A and B are shown apart, each in its own frame.
Chain A
């Protein structure tokens, strides 16, 4: 069976474009596109050949011959589950916004569709230039979505967000061009599989790696580069925030595994400790702030930051188990954070429109279904044994334990802190004293239409995490191998 990835890639944008001219039917057109993309990606999982080495369903066309840029798409164990996560969360987000009332729906759904295509493009791209194109393009739909449909203070917030994150992305642009131009060999090429054979000298590798790392760390966001996050999160409309937090940060983590480690193994080994320390700082900083802040969005935002810190930690353990844990955790976190933001919107609707934790409390009283769903999400977020998040965090910590034991010991506190801030969020909103304006009521059918499938996926994944582990194992190990070797043999890494 051949599955053309271009269809998957362009379907959401095409549906969005169609919706632009569909007037009031825009949401249904876009939803159809998003659901078809979801079905397509599920078909990919079913059809995926676990035993095959390398990329599958490859599409390879020359895009700009003069620069050696190809339109090359492919799927392997690294991006397979992130693709499904993306299509799932976007479908949920489109459905959720479709059930709500949005102003200027044509434009809203057009941007949402374009955003999905851009994210899928970044995940599918097997050409460095194509990756950069989609990675930078991702931001533009979110610029419009936040700036036009966001909450108060949206315009300054979104300008800050875009400029902050594009700073990294544009550095990456230069770095990507330098990778291709400075690589030894005949002619210029941007195709990743070719670049992997043309290893750069150590000196060039280091500055190029740092540029890439800057782009990815800003996007995540990681500790010193997270300045855009609080304002941006506060201003974004909730369904948009769910995909932004659920998917975009994962693309950054994915970028490390797809691009930075295979192409610049010596530099990755060289900066391993720096990146581990940044990840550690991110975990601790995110956890502490998630524990102290009272805005529910920001609790989830800082908690995401901490989770992304774990993912980075797993990647830069530079060991197969750590990287595998990172990939699983990326999927898990996306699955958890999107319904969490949705619940956060439901809580705000029950607390008189306030998203502040101090105005909530006692919401569980007449909302048993909401409370149950929230509890599942919360337990998954704190990596309860039995959840898939537990598997992910375990593998990550195992990898770090094998690589740098001191760092792993500090990182363990992050796990503890996760349960503290997650349970605080749950208890203070659902139980405790009833808040001043709280009107407890259970979820409606249309809320359930979005929320229940997402929670069901969390449960299914908890029961059967091997699905992702098994399909991804071979590729993840391969992508980490050069860097792992370089880390194991520092004396070789030192020579150019």
Chain B
């Protein structure tokens, strides 16, 4: 008897196929010589791929199916997170359009890596098996290590790539070690199997299981930049090309929290008594460390890195409670996080390309008088990140705090607001710089060529901030404001996602 191949539901798998297929096509088209093809067609193809994947997600919305004999699961959680990832990816493509990085790393490779990384994220958030979980994690990480180093003539970019590679590998190794322990304790790599094993036996304080949980928390903690595993974040965020930083900040976070939700609120739900308090403590530490770390930063990319650490803490609060409300709040917050973060990064890119000050906060002084619209978008993004009413960030925080209190973690709710207070000090500093400081005296010229590390072209024209960057800033800025006033569509989405992890209540 020949072994039977598993039935493959191609319809359910189609978004993943689209992303990987798109990556191959982009890579091949990128090999063509004409400049127009490389600089216009390739990014357009990448955009089209993200749009196709998102569209296939709309087609498959409402399905809850198991793919490839239980290796992946396509449900609302996977699709919603995929939308977030695809939106981030599309924004990253637009932000990279005239950037230095794709020009230096070859357009085909750059965008293909971006698509592959997004595919890895999709695998991660859809994983139903420890093995696919790890495969997804690696598929998302390895292209990112490369992408961080794509500005090959800038030292910090290379440093960032190397640092991310080393630390990311440590994280991955820890994670896979933890997964091995989990398999050892429960005898199954399948999430459903793990759930059954935890349900039926008295594994509750089994040292093997506890070690497995601890190590996988550490591994995922590296990816989601949860303190104390966050030290790489500021350096990598600062060094990486800014569009890649934006992509990492949002999409990686969405993917890592998708994995958190799948693994902890799904497979390990019955061991919540074991990991709940520990994760809650980590969330509290992360909130405090992230916000305190951001206080003294003058580089906005570093500031956003610390802020993303803090935001990871807020998101983790939604995972800790292990309730349907917590799941909804996490997904809601991730969507909100997408809007406000991309809006902020788009404005950072605009300034980076207009002034020689780069991403320093000084580049924003007096922006309110010289360019009120980007300044307004940045203001909305900063206020939203701080959780001020009438922005989406407020509703997101509201939801997370409600989930925390509802899940008997009222103290975590207090920690979240204490974090928000700390965060005001640095978010408002940016706002104050834009509206309350004078613009620098002499109108500064545009950026000159970057320092050559390896025989670079010093006179290469600096990229300008094209219409596409402004468009990204405007769209995501308006979305931040819109969903702060009319949050119901996002709530509907979140509630539907809430039904995908059936064991939660």
A joins B in a complex: yes
A interface list, Cβ under 8 A from B: 64-67, 104, 107, 129, 132-134, 136-137, 140, 143-144, 147-148, 154-155, 158-159, 162-163, 166-167, 170-171, 173-174, 177-178, 180-182, 188
How many B residues touch A, CB cutoff 8 Å? Answer: 39
Please indicate the chain A residues that have their CB under 8 angstroms from the CB of B399 in the complex.
Answer: 67
Q: For residue A54, give the distance in angstroms from its CB to the closest CB of chain B.
A: 27
B interface list, Cβ under 8 A from A: 368-369, 383, 387-390, 394-395, 397-399, 401-402, 405-406, 410, 413-414, 416-418, 420-421, 424-425, 428-429, 431-432, 435-437, 487-488, 491-492, 494-495
> Does the CB pair B398–A163 fall under 8 Å?
no
Q: Which residue of A lies closest to B400 (CB)?
A: A177
Please indicate the chain A residues that have their CB under 8 angstroms from the CB of B413 in the complex.
Answer: 174, 177-178
Please indicate the chain A residues that have their CB under 8 angstroms from the CB of B428 in the complex.
Answer: 143, 159, 162-163
> Does the CB pair A66–B491 fall under 8 Å?
yes
Q: How far is the CA of A188 from the CA of B402 in the complex (A)?
A: 10
> Does the CB pair B488–A178 fall under 8 Å?
no
> Does the CB pair B417–A155 fall under 8 Å?
no
Please indicate the chain B residues that have their CB under 8 angstroms from the CB of A166 in the complex.
Answer: 421, 424
Please indicate the chain B residues that have their CB under 8 angstroms from the CB of A155 in the complex.
Answer: 432, 436-437
> Does the CB pair B425–A163 fall under 8 Å?
yes
Given contacts A129-B398, A137-B388, A177-B405, contact A148 B414 (CB under 8 A): no
Q: For residue A70, give the distance in angstroms from its CB to the closest CB of chain B.
A: 13
Q: For residue B402, give the distance in angstroms from its CB to the closest CB of chain A.
A: 5
Pick the contact of A170: B420, B435, B436, B495 (CB < 8 A): B420
Pick the contact of B417: A66, A144, A159, A171 (CB < 8 A): A171
Closest 10 CB pairs of A and B: A170-B417, A133-B389, A147-B436, A66-B491, A137-B389, A174-B413, A181-B405, A136-B389, A177-B402, A167-B421
Give me 25 A-to-B residue pairs in the complex whose CB atoms sit less than 8 angstroms apart, sorted by A's number.
Answer: A67-B399, A67-B491, A107-B368, A129-B398, A136-B388, A136-B389, A137-B390, A143-B428, A147-B435, A148-B368, A148-B435, A148-B436, A154-B436, A158-B436, A170-B418, A170-B421, A173-B397, A173-B398, A173-B417, A174-B410, A174-B413, A177-B413, A178-B405, A178-B410, A181-B406
Q: How far is the CA of A137 from the CA of B435 in the complex (A)?
A: 18
Please indicate the chain A residues that have their CB under 8 angstroms from the CB of B405 in the complex.
Answer: 174, 177-178, 181-182
Q: For residue A391, give the distance in angstroms from its CB to the closest CB of chain B.
A: 36
Q: How far is the CA of A159 from the CA of B398 in the complex (A)?
A: 23
Please indicate the chain A residues that have their CB under 8 angstroms from the CB of B429 in the complex.
Answer: 159
Q: How far is the CA of A291 from the CA of B390 in the complex (A)?
A: 41
Q: How far is the CA of A182 from the CA of B417 in the complex (A)?
A: 18
Please indicate the chain B residues that have their CB under 8 angstroms from the CB of A170 in the complex.
Answer: 387, 417-418, 420-421
> Does the CB pair A177–B401 fall under 8 Å?
yes
Please indicate the chain B residues that have their CB under 8 angstroms from the CB of A154 in the complex.
Answer: 436
- Further pairs besides A65-B491, A147-B435: 13, Cβ < 8 Å: A66-B488, A66-B491, A67-B399, A67-B402, A67-B491, A136-B394, A140-B383, A147-B436, A158-B436, A159-B432, A163-B428, A170-B417, A174-B401
Please indicate the chain B residues that have their CB under 8 angstroms from the CB of A174 in the complex.
Answer: 401, 405, 410, 413-414, 416-417
> Does the CB pair B421–A67 fall under 8 Å?
no
Q: How far is the CA of A125 from the CA of B418 in the complex (A)?
A: 25
Please indicate the chain B residues that have their CB under 8 angstroms from the CB of A136 in the complex.
Answer: 388-389, 394
Q: For residue A476, give the distance in angstroms from its CB to the closest CB of chain B.
A: 28
Please indicate the chain B residues that have their CB under 8 angstroms from the CB of A173 in the complex.
Answer: 397-398, 401, 417
Q: For residue B313, give the distance in angstroms from its CB to the closest CB of chain A.
A: 15
Q: How far is the CA of A181 from the CA of B435 in the complex (A)?
A: 39
Q: How far is the CA of A132 from the CA of B390 in the complex (A)?
A: 11
Q: Which residue of A lies closest to B372 (CB)?
A: A107
Q: How far is the CA of A144 from the CA of B424 in the complex (A)?
A: 14
Please indicate the chain A residues that have their CB under 8 angstroms from the CB of B394 in the complex.
Answer: 133, 136
Q: How far is the CA of A162 from the CA of B382 in the complex (A)?
A: 15
Please indicate the chain A residues that have their CB under 8 angstroms from the CB of B495 in the complex.
Answer: 66
Q: For residue A160, give the distance in angstroms from its CB to the closest CB of chain B.
A: 10
> Does the CB pair B487–A64 fall under 8 Å?
yes
Q: How far is the CA of A166 from the CA of B388 in the complex (A)?
A: 10
Please indicate the chain A residues that have their CB under 8 angstroms from the CB of B414 in the complex.
Answer: 171, 174
Please indicate the chain A residues that have their CB under 8 angstroms from the CB of B401 in the complex.
Answer: 173-174, 177
Please indicate the chain B residues that have their CB under 8 angstroms from the CB of A178 in the complex.
Answer: 405, 410, 413
Please indicate the chain B residues that have their CB under 8 angstroms from the CB of A182 in the complex.
Answer: 405
Most chain A beta carbons < 10 A, residue from B394, B398, B414:
B398
> Does the CB pair A158–B432 fall under 8 Å?
yes
Q: For residue B444, give the distance in angstroms from its CB to the closest CB of chain A.
A: 22
Q: Which residue of A lies closest to B421 (CB)?
A: A167
Q: For residue A8, give the distance in angstroms from its CB to the closest CB of chain B.
A: 18
Given contacts A162-B428, A171-B417, contact A144 B435 (CB under 8 A): yes
Q: Which residue of B lies closest to A170 (CB)?
A: B417
Q: Which residue of A lies closest to B369 (CB)?
A: A104
Q: How far is the CA of A182 from the CA of B435 in the complex (A)?
A: 41
Q: Which residue of A lies closest to B492 (CB)?
A: A66
> Does the CB pair A134–B402 fall under 8 Å?
no
> Does the CB pair A163–B421 fall under 8 Å?
yes
Please indicate the chain A residues that have their CB under 8 angstroms from the CB of B397 in the complex.
Answer: 173
Please indicate the chain A residues that have their CB under 8 angstroms from the CB of B424 in the complex.
Answer: 162-163, 166
Q: How far is the CA of A64 from the CA of B392 in the complex (A)?
A: 13
Please indicate the chain A residues that have their CB under 8 angstroms from the CB of B436 in the complex.
Answer: 147-148, 154-155, 158
> Does the CB pair B390–A64 fall under 8 Å?
no
Q: For residue B254, give the distance in angstroms from its CB to the closest CB of chain A.
A: 21
Please indicate the chain A residues that have their CB under 8 angstroms from the CB of B388 in the complex.
Answer: 136-137, 140
